[in-house]
Structure 1
């Protein structure tokens, strides 16, 4: 990590003062290769470079592994030198792999299946490639498959992927492989294919489906493929059994090889439409979105969609800053994914087919333990209409499950991670006045989701003990702290709706974090069900995802997790001075104890920017009158833990959460409590950011600098008036106007006074 940081500092230092290309569109600033492959011992982001549109179902990209797994969760690793093929779904930036559905691969010569060799996925048809002959932009990807001399191009609409393959002149043996056996590693999550089918409809058309279970349980993916040229011959295989020119095949390890005559026309295109519901819906999706064969027009449409979304925030800064910013903004809009078809059908959480009314849309892929912190607050700011669809989609799970999503994939909950963080997402959106949400229904969902026990959420234990005993519920300290915040959110919505008894009850539970504060160790520490502190206790020791009181972190990193009551946490710590000193130690101590969790990376002392529990901590100095230290650390993170390389993130991007931290912080503020409507001010990186808001208002943040050392705030003006508060509100932004910073190279007295600190509205 040290070597990487030195390299980044050098890169950033030479970029200061670079020419700003004002004529570029937002799409032209995006570099989809950022975060696609680690260097040295770093994490990278786990992103992918392929083609998708904002929040689309299809994410069409190369897979560089036979069986992508945790370290290549999106299917692509920039360090690899072979492409297995192009699959149509994937996750962006997650710590575990899934999806990786419906792989196509163009080839020449004999494939392993034709030669009747072992047809194991990826053996016999992969190709070498070079980054020198690879390029990507939002909605478009291109690579030369060196083993075959084929140029492959990809683009997409929301539910359809489009391929354009240019075979070498004179090739007399041109194929496209369809692999339904290719998936994420079958050794993870009990992954297996339950059934699949390939059906030849006519010389240009193939239908089929795959039913697979894994991290997301029992996923059904239906597809239609249309080729621009007729198929000459078909070879089908189910494992080692091979069949020629059969019209249909069923099985659990299916592949097909389609032969094409490219002697006179070297270009073969393919359109692949997906549906979670039926083949008939996949056919309708293709007709609705890509009825013709104009590949370049589909690329233009995808680029136009991205420019419209990315243009909601226009920024001024160095070339490097704009590249990182717009790529981060791009990464925030890859997931959640639309899961309803063009006709409004969707696969409900109870595996029945339902149809939406009006203009409703159904979404899934909710990485809520990550994205509730900054990604969803960002959506409420620049995508309020879509936020309403996200929330209504979450409430549909409540209708069938009885509680809101924890971590939802393809419409099903996988219960990964802890807490019930659909709750802050919903409460925040309602508090901000996002239209289109039934508040009473939403309240019913958040209330019952906080009362009905479900995996990692034993609320009978929560009510009985006022904390989670470690000998009953693993990850007990982290769950206690996160449940306390979720309960504060329920209480806040109860207060808004005039439900006083509920407000009192959940406000009381929101203080349960106190029950695990040990005044002797001065940390949150696990107890057993008898009320005894569990010893030995080492605040530097890491936990993972079970079997230890802390989740993907240690007691130091979780000490700061009381976002709904920082004032109380300051008092528990011993007051402003003690709190600031503990923060200082946190950011400077390099002590280690045993192995670190794999997700812990991007270190500044004990601070680990590569994982979400640390993300708000740099902003906490504002709460104790030392805002210049917030400015110092936020600036350091922005400039040293993000770059424009394949290892551009300090950890997994987690469906855009790491990117969302950058978006907010580069503009100058961050939602420490993501359900409060308050943004705490840090150190603006960009010279200017213009947020174009729904309804026509714009909010502009200006922070002109003479050099990159001007990281400290000297003074602030809001709409021309002196502004000394160390926070702004969501309503300040929605009203439009200008927030202007005067920056300098030394700390100032700005924001020191107690009355300028962030405040929370009392519940009772």
Structure 2
């Protein structure tokens, strides 16, 4: 646990909340600096960015502290001392970097068009800054650029970034536009480079251009239209080291521009920058529709109002730290997926053609290996319209690409991670009755995605062997157990639609995990195509993203991944007592080899909360009749592995998954199987929570004697009636009502322990 709080950060954050928010407003609890920088610079902290965005927006405007961002992937590290500029697109919480489009930076003094090196003070156009002169809240970011005496403020709409720069008196003030700024181009396995770019001076208040580049997303086109509140007096355009004054247009692969101004003391210059993935004309349309004027404060207020509405879908009470973690978590969960469609509905499709979304929404940034576990189930409760739009966007990829997204960025499938976890997301939404989805089309896409060979999912091999052999496909154990879960989801949707043959076929495949269970070792273990176990075998050995049977984990962490049939997993391991004893060892075995994957952090024994394969495991005691152990470990994670500082997460936040685990668990329940409508009960830490449901009803949780010491459930009531089950169902929640907990310092070993109290396999009426 990292309890160290950055004092200046906390004090400045509390001062900001007090000065800018009325009592009772939920945005006062959002702390955008949570998850932006680890205390220990060798560990992960979230990889979030502090700059402004609106919910699920295209433009996400934020400072970059690195010339060539790589790690953290957000481009901003709280531990850095300089800012290189403000770019308009970012990833929130990912483990891999990309985007950072159209960077702006205000400066004074001699024109410098190279960012410069961090260690050389004053070289290039970067500037030092101090957290004491930096602030952020939903819809607003501010920092003093110390080297220039320029106060920079940022806000945004969905497609437009708005900058307000307050300059000192200067006859050599500049605003730099950098189209060469990108993720680290030296990382050869991404082979990032600019294919082509253009900067065009339309007039002395307007700049337009584009860049086409490769990176994590294989081909991206970014068009921009920028307007300035004050005419610039002259320009310098540069391609690499070659620069020309007052030229109307420049093309190349390493473009920057300096727009020159004369400023009076405390003079403000505003810049608004509209983006489009389709065309400059669409960028102009986006600006015309969303930000025709120049009222910075009004735009910031509108963004704050949008966030207030979204955050209000769950209202909670608890300690200040709990509320800051909770509402910042919702903020992070609603930062993506991103609507990459322009205001007219145009978007760049997966096959690089231009499509048009009739609802003006086409979403991307689908980190599905992470978010299918808790973020998407959370969206079904409080973002049902968005859930339908997410799924319709996924189905559009199927139309153009042949299968559903695995990890989609900017409309481009990048094949990151394993399995095809759009399948449980779509299955869960349909079984929950989310409207606005073409169910027959969705099933067509799901079945095709579960039968068509594509990278990471070799279904011909799957059908032939009944598992993935390690000598055919690396990460074979993780792929096997995760595809088995996806197959279970296909089967459930087939059953709902009356497709009996499909149901039986995919149910058979959903049990393929058994073929990699080695009863001699008690682990899921790799086999080659000849059926022999891969040796030597050490369950502590970590894998990354290839070269090992395990994906970003070890055999201990993947021993528990059968969410579709926990009773069978318990049977494989010898019954409840043997299963629980192995869980006890898992949570206490502290041995770690020297090659622990970089994503492994937040350890409790072998449990690693900093990465997703561990996220459901603490809840498995509920299934074995020992729910008090679930309560202990869930409370331990909630209270010790999250905080409200820049190091607030124990791993990458992963596009809302790390936050959604906290959101569910703080309220007292969690979807171990994200698509069966059953929620295992843990240890609620909030005083109360009220969730506004999509059907107009509310579901509330109250907790008596809530404290870190009182982590054990003494009794529960559901709608005023004594309740002994270690789970609640989708129907319990959607019917509305109230779940009351009484907590204490000692376990009540008679609650939730009977055979009928353990979570069932199914929580829907169908």
> For 1:100-111, what aligned pairs fall within 5 Å after superposition?
100-111=100-111
Q: CA deviation at 1:7?
A: 7.5
CA distance in 2, matches of 1:68, 1:762: 44
Q: Deviation digits for residues 452-484 of structure 1, max 9, x if unmatched?
A: 000011100000000000000000000000000
Counterpart CA distance in 1 for 2:270 and 2:123 is: 24
Output the CA distance in 2 between the equivalents of 1:430 and 1:212.
37
TM-score by structure 1 length? 0.96
Secondary structure of 2:171's partner? coil
SS at match of 2:498: coil
CA contact (8 A) 1:558 1:613 kept: yes
Provide the residue aligned with 1:311 in structure 2. Answer: 312
Equivalent in the alignment of 1:187: 186
Aligned residues: 748
* TM-score, L = length of structure 2: 0.95
Alpha-carbon separation, structure 1, partners of 2:264 and 2:130: 26
C-alpha distance 753-525 of structure 1, shift in aligned 2 (>3 A): same
Query: Quick check: 1:42–1:647 contact (8 Å CA) kept in 2?
Result: no
Post-superposition shift, 1:677?
1.2
**1:69-121 deviation per Cα after TM superposition (whole angstroms, max 9, x unaligned):** 0x22000000000000000001001001000110000000013249999xx9x
Q: Please, which moves more after superposition, 40-49 or 389-398?
A: 40-49
SS in structure 1 of the partner of residue 273 of structure 2? strand
Q: For structure 2, which runs of at least 5 residues remain unmatched after alignment? A: 11-17
Q: Name the SS of the counterpart of 1:273 in structure 2.
A: strand
SS in 1 for 2:506: helix
Q: Distance in 2 between matches of 1:213 and 1:431?
A: 38
For the aligned residue pairs, the C-alpha RMSD in angstroms reads 2.1
Change (3 A) 1:707 1:90: closer
Instruction: Determine whether 1:700 maps to 2:697.
Output: no
Q: Deviations over 1:557-590 (max 9, x none)?
A: 0000000000000000000000000000000001
Match of 1:422 in 2: 422
1:147-179 C-alpha deviation (Å, 9 max, x unpaired)? 0000000000111000000001x2121100000
1:36 maps to 2:36: yes
**Residue 611 of structure 2 corresponds to residue 611 of structure 1:** yes
Separation in 2, partners of 1:388, 1:628:
37
Q: Is the 8 A contact 1:360 1:389 kept in 2?
A: no
Moved more, 591-600 or 29-38: 591-600
CA offsets per residue over residues 636-662 of structure 1, 9 Å max, x none?
000000001111001000111101100
1:695 is displaced (CA, Å) by 3.7
In structure 2, what is the equivalent of residue 395 of structure 1?
Answer: 395
| Structure 2 equivalent of residue 289 of structure 1 | 290
Specify the alignment match of 1:254 in structure 2.
255
Which position in structure 1 is the counterpart of 2:15? none
Q: Does 1:176 align with 2:175?
A: yes
- Whether the 8 Å contact between 2:367 and 2:407 is mirrored in structure 1 is yes
Cα 1:116–1:153 shift into 2, 3 Å: closer
Asked if 1:212 is matched to 2:218, the reply is no
User: Aligned to 1:47, what secondary structure does the other structure show?
Assistant: coil
Q: Which residue of 2 aligns with 1:335?
A: 336
Q: 1:704 and 1:23, CA in 2 relative to 1: closer, same or farther beyond 3 A?
A: farther
Aligned counterparts of 2:598 and 2:72: Cα–Cα separation in 1: 14
Aligned to 2:493: 493
Consecutive unaligned residues of structure 1, counting only runs of 5 or more, are 13-19
* Structure 1 residue 743 displacement after superposition: 1.0
- What is the match of residue 131 of structure 1? 131
Deviations for 1:423-454, whole angstroms, at most 9, x for unmatched residues? Answer: 00000000100000000000000000010000
Q: Report the equivalent of 1:15.
A: none
Distance in 2 (alpha carbons) for counterparts of 1:116 and 1:215? 25
SS in 1 for 2:690: strand
**1:270 lines up with 2:271 in the alignment:** yes
State the Cα distance separating 1:721 from its structure 2 match: 1.1
2: distance between equivalents of 1:501 and 1:271?
Answer: 57
Moved over 4 A (4+): 5-8, 114-117
Alignment match, 1:760: 761
Shift of 1:745: 1.1
| Cα deviation, residue 187, structure 1 | 2.0
In structure 2, how many angstroms separate the alpha carbons of the residues matched to 1:608 and 1:533? 26
* Counterpart mapping for 1:68-79 below 5 A: 68-69=69-70, 71-79=71-79
Partner of residue 585, structure 1: 585
Change (3 A) 1:114 1:745: closer
**Any residues of structure 2 matched to 1:638-657 within 5 Å, and which?**
638-657=638-657
Alignment of 1:312-461 (within 5 A): 312-357=313-358, 359-461=359-461
Q: Secondary structure at the match of 2:263?
A: coil
* Residue 280 of structure 2: aligned partner: 279
For 1:139 and 1:573, the matched residues in 2 are separated by: 51
